Amino acid sequence: MKSELPKVLVPVAGRPMVRYVIDALRAAGVNRIVVVVGYRADMVRAELAGVPGIEFADQTEQLGTGHAVMMCREHLASHDGPVVVVAGDSPMLQADSIATLLADAT
């Protein structure tokens, strides 16, 4: 992508990719979102500061997607119900797909 930005902050049609993902999650009824931050975490935190229902989990070493999910363990320890894992750099994610997935998980 030839950018110093974290991939989730690269703009698509004038908005950071992660904003499209959050919008899709919200439209699917997801109210609590744990965002895993690593590379240039301060920039991602600043972009999402003040967004309701957003929590951050730190991944100080980027060791892959599975490791990123493991970094959410404490945030999800008391969670009851389905969990959906999505990539923050997927601006084409559809709310209907997430809603269907969550409906099938219950």
The span from the CA of 4 to the CA of 7, in Å, is: 9
pTM of the shown model:
0.92
DSSP 46-84: HHHTT-TTEEEEE-SS---HHHHHHTTHHHHTT--S---
The 10s digit of each residue's pLDDT in 54-71 is: 999 999 999 999 999 999
Tens of pLDDT, residue by residue, the chain (106 residues) = 678 899 999 999 999 999 999 999 999 999 999 999 999 999 999 999 999 999 999 999 999 999 999 999 999 999 999 999 999 999 999 999 999 999 988 7
Predicted confidence at residue 48, as pLDDT, reads: 98
Predicted confidence at residue 26, as pLDDT, reads: 97
Cβ atoms of 19 and 89 closer than 8 Å: no
Residue 8 buriedness (CB in 10 A; 0-12 / 13-18 / 19+): buried
Predicted confidence at residue 1, as pLDDT, reads: 62
Predicted confidence at residue 2, as pLDDT, reads: 75
The span from the CA of 44 to the CA of 56, in Å, is: 10
